[in-house]
Amino acid sequence: MPCPDCGAPFGDRAACDAAFHELGVRAMEDVRFAYRRRAVVDAYCLQHPAYILSIKSCAAHLCGLCAAVERPDDPRATRAVWSALQVAPDAVKPAIPAVRGTRTVAGLHAATPEAFRAEADAWIADVWAAWREHHALARTWLDYSISAGEKRRR
């Protein structure tokens, strides 16, 4: 039975969550599995609606993936997402895409340390592509958060 949220072949969603959390343990034990850890968390959460119920959690993971994919060298983007995410007061949570990617955490779970980087990059790109209808929104939210953070620091 596949995970009802992402389709990973682990059984139910609890088994999928357990497999994902096992990756966190591996990342603590072997730095090769820590590659792009934040983006891996964002990708997983964006495939599992229970982790993006509120607008703030949705914005955090959508902006986190946007920053990882489109602005990996911009420290302002990282800071805006991970230190003090701000969402405009009139922001509205977008509809969650019915299909949230074709790759799943199963690929990372099965990856050897040597293959983990390539698998993580492919999965992150796949989930980001699945959310394409909300890319402009993610960029807007990220820019808003960066601007709000810069105003706060002045």
pTM of the model: 0.94
Q: Residue 106: name the closest of 7, 35, 32, 1 by CA.
A: 7
Residues in the chain with pLDDT values less than 70? 152-154
Write down the pLDDT at residue 154.
60
Write down the pLDDT at residue 153.
63
**29 burial level (CB within 10 Å; 0-12, 13-18, 19+):** exposed
For residues 51-81, one letter each, b for 16 or more C-beta atoms within 10 angstroms of the residue's C-beta and e for the rest, the string is bbeeeeebbbbbbbbbbbbebeeeebbbbbb
Write down the pLDDT at residue 79.
86
